[in-house]
Amino acid sequence: MSTSIPQGLQERAAELRQLLNRAAHAYYVLDAPDLEDAVYDRLYRELLDLEAAHPVLVEADSPTQRVGGSPAEGFRSVTHRVPLFSLDNAFSADELRGWYTRLIKVLDREPPSDSPLPALAMVGELKIDGNALALSYENGVLVRAATRGDGDQGEEITANVRTIASIPLRLHLDHPPAWVEVRGEALIPDSTFAAINGERAARDEPLFANPRNACAGTLRQLDPKVVAARRLDFFAYTLHLPEEWSGQRPASQWESLRWLEDAGFRVNPNAALLPNLEAVEQFFSDWDSRRHDLNYATDGVVVKLNDLRLQDAAGFTQKAPRWAIALKYPAEEAPSRLLKLTCQVGRTGVVTPVAEFEPVSLAGTSVSRATLHNADRLQELDLHSGDTIIVRKAGEIIPEVLRVLPELRLEGALPLELPHHCPSCGSDLVRESGEAATRCVNSSCPAILSGALRHWVSKGALDVDGLGSKLIEQLVERGLVRSIADLYRLDTALLTSLERMGEKSASNLVAALEQSRSQPWSRQLYGLGIHHVGEVNAKALASAFADADNLADAAVLQPEAITGLHGIGPEIAQSLQQWFSTSANQDLLQQLRDVGLTLAASDQERQALADRSNGSGQLSGQTFVLTGTLPSLSRSQAQALIEAAGGKVSGSVSKKTSFVVAGDEAGSKLEKAKSLGVSVLDEAALMLLIQDSADSIHPL
């Protein structure tokens, strides 16, 4: 590097590269953003300006020289047919006009010095705060979906994307081209996000920070059923067609959006065809307040040159199109005064500090509370009683305390810290070495009990209808339920004595509890709420250990038998060992047995497991692939029936596939089966194959 550049500038450029690359890795690879968008944009602009002023500062590892982060591990990496470029950003009307002036110059349409810039039609589209997807269609059928990745390569997530209802599996065109590349944004609507976090709170699971992060994490789930349950949405906004296609080709971005609509895609209805730059500025200004009324987050407006031929003429820089720009709104922040610090206790005993402050309006809603996560965050903020704080909610559902303004602190204000005793039961709180969480370890704590009960009756566990949070609180407060097992000692007469409980509701709840006794062993295990044991891990453990005693013996005496299972690591094994070694949990298991819970696989489950192990089922040695929607069976029910009969269910079609079971809207798997000569069954034909066992098998 040239010594003519001041040492301070060289060091600052190196520092910015390090900060931005680390943030990009956290965001794109780890899906754990550690830098706010507004901060990232500011640092990125600072580096961009430094490099523009001193080109010798540009290094190969500079984030200004690439589109995005590397694809994350764990999914198959694919090369995009058409690269996904990122957009340059503008943060003011002046920067927008600077971009437009450069565009006019590139197009060789500069007017005389005393004349105004010529007007070019543009399209304004809301910048959705979601996750970019690349969709590939061949002969009208969706064959591949991938994340943006680094712009040239992304992760293939086709199985997950197929669960998004607003993405057509087949284009709504009579004569589709040989291939089509569609770009768009996957998102979780705000109302859906609130419902998801509500369900997670009921199960005492960590809440998602915002819809975008939740969407990114969802798209990278290995189980498409999880993706389907979170109800993602999608807006399409870009179209790429083969040059040789002879069909009706859009001549503009506006026509491209209409083409996408005709093909069956959801296009954001708030796009506008804008005749000139003044109209763009008005569009941006109009949506500054209106965006808060939308059911999804948007942090700006994307402006695109409308004429596709002019887009081609403008071309690209090394990392972005010259014919488009993202005009972004500033991150929304507001000051407030801290009123008090409270604490929440979850079902695992984790104590979470919560800041309660004077209500402020952010992103169209009034907020007065924000979680502070743990004692470390509390100490980092250095909160004092009555502090003036800055709260941010940049299009997010859950606000956060960004910082404190110590210069406004009242004299004599006391520093705040987590209490030493549980706010629910008064027991001493414990923070183990190496852990961020502070916990109440009293298993009789009412807050822990309420959380454990909510988790036990949740849909993924015992799935007990009619037992909501308010009723659980009543049962705990009145001392009618002191453990999960006590739920099964409730009767209609006792329940009808509670507030808002009629005889019919009470009778239905008793029946639902009775029915829950027959839930599979894997659900019972998940319902116990053992730290790190989710639904998928519970199924793997239940398949390997037929009852709680066998699992307990392995957890305490042979942890290597647990870590030897696929997907089960030492962290889960250690959690199981701690749980089964606790006398209170041993007592709970006995209580559950006393009220009729087996905590073991049923005879049918054991037989199914044996058939799978010994290859003795009717479908032993045969591999099935499921595609489309079956008339009466869900995907999980069909899989359970096949596996119970000794068969194997695969996610992809190959020459080794025995049968493809196809329902409505079967996609590329059906086409591939036909091309390979693989036998195709409908639901009725599948049931004929396994008729001997279908009536007696309970789906696992």
Q: How wide is the angle at C-alpha 413 spanned by C-alphas 409 and 418, nearest 5°?
A: 110
Please choose, from the candidates 546, 541, 509, the residue with its C-alpha nearest in 3D space to the C-alpha of residue 526. 541
Query: Which entry of 127, 393, 669, 672 is annotated as an active-site residue?
Result: 127
Residue 384 dihedral angles phi and psi, to the nearest 5° = -125, 160
Contact (CB, 8 A) for 392 and 402: yes
Burial zone of 423 (CB within 10 Å; 0-12 exposed, 13-18 middle, 19+ buried): middle
Give the separation between CA 31 and CA 72, rounded to whole angstroms.
9
Give the separation between CA 91 and CA 76, rounded to whole angstroms.
36
Amino acid at 659: F
Contact (CB, 8 A) for 684 and 674: no
Please say if 539 is a catalytic residue. Answer: no
Packing angle, helices 446-456 and 469-477, rounded to 10: 140
Phi-psi region of 536 (alpha: psi -120 to 50; beta: other; left: phi over 0): alpha
Q: Give every CB contact of residue 181 below 8 A, 6+ residues apart in sequence.
A: 80, 81, 82, 134, 135, 136, 137, 239, 240
Contact (CB, 8 A) for 64 and 17: no
Block residue for tokens 């047919």: 81
- Report the chain's C-alpha Rg in angstroms: 29
Please choose, from the candidates 88, 123, 126, 89, the residue with its C-alpha nearest in 3D space to the C-alpha of residue 235. 126
Q: How many CB atoms lie within 10 A of CB 321?
A: 17
Q: Is 392 helix (H, G, I), strand (E, B) or coil?
A: strand
Tokens for 555?
Answer: 């957890």
Give the distance, in angstroms, between the CA of residue 383 and the centroid of all CA atoms in the same chain.
Answer: 31
- Residues in the chain, overall count: 700
Buried (b) or exposed (e) across 671-680, using 16+ Cβ within 10 A? bbbeeeebeb
Give the separation between CA 107 and CA 25, rounded to whole angstroms.
36
Buried (b) or exposed (e) across 111-132, using 16+ Cβ within 10 A? eeeeeebeebbbbbbbbbbbbb
Dihedral of CA atoms 51, 54, 56, 57 in degrees, nearest 10, equals -40
Give the separation between CA 49 and CA 55, rounded to whole angstroms.
10
Tokens for 312?
Answer: 């081609």
- HSE on the CB side for 172, CA within 13 Å? 12
Q: Catalogue the active-site residues.
A: 127
